[in-house]
Amino acid sequence: MDGATDVLDQERLLARFGRRFNAGEVIFTEGDAATHAFLLQEGRVRLIKRVGAVERSLRVVRPGDLFGESALLQGAPRNSTAVALSDGAVLALDHDTFQHVLSSNPAVGTRVLHQLIRRLRDAEDQIEILMLRDSQSKVVVALLKQAQHSLGSRGSADGTVNLSVSPLDLSVRVGLDVDTVKRTVQQLREAGYVSIVDESIEIPDAEALRELYSLLGVKDQIRGMAPEPRR
């Protein structure tokens, strides 16, 4: 299937199943009945989950991403709240329609499959990151994994790696608040491990960042071996 056909199919899907939203709009709320899954076409959406009195970001959804897929299990409730970070558009698909779209549009089916594989990989990465105690280690390993996995992060001829990742994206991945992530990135920037170029994070030497992560791991081990202070 060529690119022109893909675009035409996408336009037909948008005309039939498209739904627009505005920045700040709540697309669905945790606990509600899940009736539609969504494929994001334009804009960005933040998924939030409340744990007790605390609200935590789960991930930031970007164009091409599937979210709200609990609707594919008939009778399942929403397990998160989706809030639009910008104006945008989604394909809103109920269970039967979603199955039909997957079977009749191979491009959509392939995209969803690749995305689910990526989400599984990201979940494994996040488990590893959350096991770390040091906030700087969390941010460093998240950047290294982004550099390794992201298709948009291929190195340039001089070995530099560019990551299109925001402080909010990083905070979701590492389980820290945005301010802590910003401070940590600034520390890495001052030490020369990263730079900020056009709102993207640039890693001039990934090997140096890996060495820093190894040193932070040693520091974390020493901290774990230290005796508890007497009370």
- The CATH architecture that domain 132-225 belongs to is Orthogonal Bundle (1.10)
The residue assigned the tokens 């202070």 is 229
Q: Work out the angle at residue 76's Cα, subtended by the Cα atoms of residues 25 and 19, and round it to the nearest 5 degrees.
A: 35
**Topology at the third CATH level for domain 3-120:** Jelly Rolls (2.60.120)
> Residue 214 has which token pair?
């190894």
Q: What is the structure's pLDDT at 229?
A: 52
Per residue in 146-157, is it b (16+ CB within 10 Å) or e — as a string?
Answer: bbeeeeebeeee
> Residue 61 has which token pair?
């959804």
CB-CB neighbours of 55 under 10 Å: 10
Q: What is the pLDDT of residues 11-49, one digit of tens each?
A: 777 888 899 999 999 999 998 988 898 989 999 999 998
Domain borders along the chain are: 3-120, 132-225
User: What is the Cα gyration radius of the chain?
Assistant: 20
Domain 3-120 identical in fold to domain 132-225: no
pTM comes to 0.60
Shortest CA distance to 50 belongs to which of 30, 71, 25? Answer: 30
Is 80:32 a contact under the CB 8 Å cutoff?
no
pLDDT at 117 over 90: no
Q: What is the pLDDT of residues 120-155, one digit of tens each?
A: 777 777 777 777 888 888 888 888 888 876 544 444
Q: What is the structure's pLDDT at 157?
A: 44
Shortest CA distance to 35 belongs to which of 89, 81, 76? Answer: 76
Report the distance separating Cα 10 and Cα 24, nearest Å: 25
